[in-house]
Amino acid sequence: MNSPLITPELVQLDADLGNAPPDVIARLAALVVGAGRATDAAPIADAATAREEKAGTGVNGRVAIPHCRSAAVSEPTLAFARLSNPVDFNGPDGDAELVFLIAAPEGGGKEHLKILSKLARALVRGDFVDRLRAAATEQEIVDAVLEVVNAEPNKKAKPAGGQVAPVAPAGSSSSKAPVRIAAVTSCATGIAHTYMAADALTRAAERRGDVELRVEPQGSSGGDRLDQAFIDSADAVIFAHDVAVRDKERFAGKPVVDSPVKRGVNKPDAMIDEAIAAAGNPDAPRVAAASSTSGTEQTDASSETWPKRLQQAIMTGVSYMVPFVAAGGLLLALGFLFGGADMANGWQTLVTDYSPTNLPGNEITIDGEAVSFARSGWLLYLGAVFFATGQMAMQFVVPALSGYIGYGLAGRPGIAPGFVGGAISVMVGAGFIGGLITGLLAGAVAYWIQTWKVPRWLGSLMPVVIIPLLTSLVIGLLMFLLLGRPLGAVMEGLTSWLESMSGSSAVLLGLIIGLMMCFDLGGPVNKAAYLFGTAGLSAGTQGAYEIMAAVMISGMVPPIALSIATFLRKSLFTPAEQENGKSAWLLGLSFVSEGAIPFAAADPFRVIPAMMLGGATAGAVSMALGVGAQAPHGGVFVIFAYDPWWGMLAALAAGVAVATVAVVALKQFWPNHEIRKAAEQAQTPVSATA
C-alpha cells in the first residue's frame, strides 16, 4: 500500500452527518475525495448506499461498516466518523455511533473485504471499540485503526491498557484462510422461511471475517444452485431445512450441521460457529454418499434420528403437494368467478362438447336433460376450462403428497410407489389420510429393500425397476386387502363430521385451528393445521372450504397485528422490530405468517400468547360466519375465492384487533426490560463520548 489506509483528514469526531445512512455515507465519501483518494464522491456514495440497501451494515456495538468498490477510487481508503447524532444502519442493538466507510478501487479485487474482515474481528474486542469512543484526537483514531488493519495475521495486536488480545475472535484461527461453508435452506412451503434463513446466514457471514459462505435456497421461487467446485472446496456444510435437501449427494463426505430452518432464521451465528467446529473435527457427522444401488440422498445415520426423518418426510410431501393445491384451488376459484357457481354442474360437457368456435348458450343438454346456467358464451366456456384444469390439478394432490413422502424417506425409488399408493387412496376413498399412510409405508419399504445385498449385475436395476416394482406391489396388496376399507371409513367419518358441524362445534374447531396456526408461526404445529386445510380441498365440500378459510384468515393475523402495534406503541419495540413492522403488514395480507417470527424470537412469552389469542378469535369468527375459501394461499389478494368475502374481512379485523390489544397490553404491563431499554436508547440520542 503506497500511503496509509487512513489519515487524520479522513476522520471526523463528534460530528452530525445527517439523519439517514445515505447522508452519512455521502459526507464520508466527500472526505475521501478531499484527501485526494478519489476523483468524485457521487459514485462512491451511490455504490455504498446501494450495498447498504441490500443488507444493513450495522454490527454489534452500535457500529456500521458501509463499503464499496468504485472506479472513482484511486487506492484503498478508510474514512471514519464518530457521530453526535446516531443513525440507523439496521444494526442489532440500535443506531450506529461509530461509522467506517471502506472505499476500494474497482479493480482492487477483494481488498475492501480484507479490510472489512480485519475490522470485524477487531470490533468484537471491547477494548478496541472503547478506544475509538474515548479518542480525543483524529490521530488517536488513526493509530488505533492502523494497529488492527495492518497487523500481520500471525501476530498479536496490542490494545490500550497494554493487555495482549488476539486480532481474530475467540475460536477462529487468524493464520488460516476463512472457513468455506456451503449452506442449503428449505421449508415446507418454500415461501418464507427458506429465504429468511438464507438471508440471515448470509448477513451473519458478512459480519464476520472468518468464513466464506454461499447459500442455495431451495424454495418455490427458485434460487441459484451452488457451484459444484465451491461445494467440493467447502470445509463444512449447513443444512437449515424442514424438508429433504434436493440432490444431497453433491455434499457427500462433508462435515454437516443439520438443523430446522427456523434455527437458521433465529441463530445463524450459532450455526456458523458449529460449522467451523465441525470442519476441524474428524468425528463430526458427515453427509453420507449416495447408495450405489438406490440413488438416495440421506445424511449419516448418526446425524438424523428416525422421528426427525419421518417429520421431514411428511414436510417434504406437504412442500411438493402445495403447488398442486395452489394451482388447482385458484383455478377452481377462477372457474366460479368466470362461469358462475352453477357451472360446476356441467363442466365436463362444457369443455368436451364446446369450443371457441362453438360457444355454449345459457341452456345445454347433459345426459339427455336440459340444464340452465346463469351465464353463457365466452364467460361460461372459459369458466369451465379453468374449472376443468383445476380439477385435474386437484386429482394429483393426494398422490403427490404420498409420492414425495416416499421420496423424503427413500429418495427417488420411493416416488413411484408413493404415487401409486396415493392414487389407490383416492380410488378407495381414503383421501389424504390414506396418502399419508401410503407415503410412509412406501418410503419405509423402499428404504428397507435398499439395504438388501444384491449381486453387482442386479444393482443397476434396483433403483429403476426392482425397488419401485416390489414396493408398489406391497403397497397395492396392503391397501386393497387390509388398509383401504378402514382408512376409507375413517375419511368418510371425518367428512361427515365436518359437514355436520354447526354452531358451537364449528366455532370450537375454528378456535383450535387459530391456536395451531399462531403457535409456532410456520413450524410443525402450524404446518399440521395447514395440511389439514389444504388436503381437505380435494374433497370439494363446504366443510373443507370453511376449514381452509379459518386456516388462512388466522394465519394472516400475527404479522398484521404486530405491524399495527409497532405504529401505535413504538416505544414498546426495538428499532429492528420497528423496521420489520413497516413491511410485516404486507406479509400478513399475503398469508405469510413467518413475517411475525422476528418479533416472536425476540420476545416469545409476550408475542406468541397474544398472537394465539388473535388467531383463535379470527378462526372462531370465520367458522361462526360460515366463511369458505376455495384457494389455499394468497391472503386478501384472492378475495374472490372467499364466500362471503365480507365475512373474511370481518373475521380478519376481529383477530387483528384482539391480537394487537393483547400484545400491547402484555408489553406494557409485563415489560421486557431489555427491549424497553433498547427502544429508549434509540429514541434518546446518546453522546458518543458519554
Spatial separation of the C-alpha atoms in residues 636 and 633, rounded to whole Å = 9
Residue 154 scores a pLDDT above 60: no
Lowest-confidence range among 71-85, 142-156, 252-266?
142-156
187 labelled catalytic: yes
Report residue 27's pLDDT band, with 50, 70 and 90 as the boundaries: very high
Spatial separation of the C-alpha atoms in residues 686 and 225, rounded to whole Å = 45
Residue 686 scores a pLDDT above 80: no
Q: Look at phi and psi of residue 367 and say left if phi exceeds 0, alpha if psi is from -120 to 50, else beta.
A: left
Give Cα 653 distance to the centre of its chain.
26
What the block records as the C-alpha cell of 34 is: 478531499
What the block records as the C-alpha cell of 680 is: 429508549
Residue 86 scores a pLDDT above 80: yes
Helical ranges in 373-464 per DSSP H: 377-394, 397-410, 415-427, 431-450, 456-459
**pLDDT mean over 319-331:** 79
67 labelled catalytic: yes
Helical ranges in 460-541 per DSSP H: 467-478, 484-500, 504-519, 524-536
Helical ranges in 10-110 per DSSP H: 21-34, 41-54
Kindly give, in sequence order, each residue whose CB lies less than 8 Å from that of residue 511, ignoring residues fewer than 6 positions away: 616, 619, 620
Per-residue confidence (pLDDT) for residue 175, from 0 to 100: 44
What the block records as the C-alpha cell of 427 is: 380410488
**pLDDT mean over 503-529:** 81
Q: Residue type for 37, please? A: R
Spatial separation of the C-alpha atoms in residues 351 and 364, rounded to whole Å = 12
What the block records as the C-alpha cell of 131 is: 478506544
Q: 675, 565 in Cβ contact below 8 A? A: no
**pLDDT mean over 246-274:** 87
Q: Which of 67, 112, 241, 633 is catalytic?
A: 67
Per-residue confidence (pLDDT) for residue 176, from 0 to 100: 59
Lowest-confidence range among 292-306, 395-409, 493-507, 598-612?
292-306
Spatial separation of the C-alpha atoms in residues 226 and 66, rounded to whole Å = 27
CA angle centred on 193, ends 189 and 197, rounded to 5°: 145
Q: 513, 551 in Cβ contact below 8 A? A: yes
Three-state DSSP class for 299?
strand
Per-residue confidence (pLDDT) for residue 493, from 0 to 100: 78
Neighbour-count burial of 657, counting CB atoms closer than 10 A to its CB (0-12 exposed, 13-18 middle, 19+ buried): middle
Three-state DSSP class for 26?
helix
**pLDDT mean over 265-279:** 89
Identify the residue with better confidence: 494 or 438. 438
Per-residue confidence (pLDDT) for residue 443, from 0 to 100: 93
Helical ranges in 241-369 per DSSP H: 261-266, 268-279, 306-339, 347-353
Kindly give, in sequence order, each residue whose CB lies less than 8 Å from that of residue 654, ignoring residues fewer than 6 positions away: 617, 618, 621
What pLDDT, in 10s, does the model give residues 644-674? 999 999 999 999 999 999 999 998 888 766 6
Spatial separation of the C-alpha atoms in residues 9 and 520, rounded to whole Å = 52
Kindly give, in sequence order, each residue whose CB lies less than 8 Å from that of residue 623, ignoring residues fewer than 6 positions away: 501, 506, 507, 509, 510, 546, 550
Neighbour-count burial of 267, counting CB atoms closer than 10 A to its CB (0-12 exposed, 13-18 middle, 19+ buried): middle
Per-residue confidence (pLDDT) for residue 461, from 0 to 100: 83
Report residue 685's pLDDT band, with 50, 70 and 90 as the boundaries: very low
What the block records as the C-alpha cell of 367 is: 345426459
Q: Which of 112, 187, 193, 518 is catalytic?
A: 187
Residue 605 scores a pLDDT above 60: yes
Kindly give, in sequence order, each residue whose CB lies less than 8 Å from that of residue 151, ignoring residues fewer than 6 positions away: 118, 157, 167
What pLDDT, in 10s, does the model give residues 155-202? 333 333 333 223 344 344 444 578 999 999 987 666 567 877 888 898
306-339 and 431-450 helices, crossing angle to 10°: 140
**pLDDT mean over 244-262:** 86
Phi, psi of 679 (to 5 degrees): -65, -40
Q: 658, 564 in Cβ contact below 8 A? A: no
Which residue ranges form the domains of the chain, and what is each CATH number?
8-150 (3.40.930.10), 179-284 (3.40.50.2300), 307-497 (no CATH), 501-683 (no CATH)
What the block records as the C-alpha cell of 31 is: 472526505
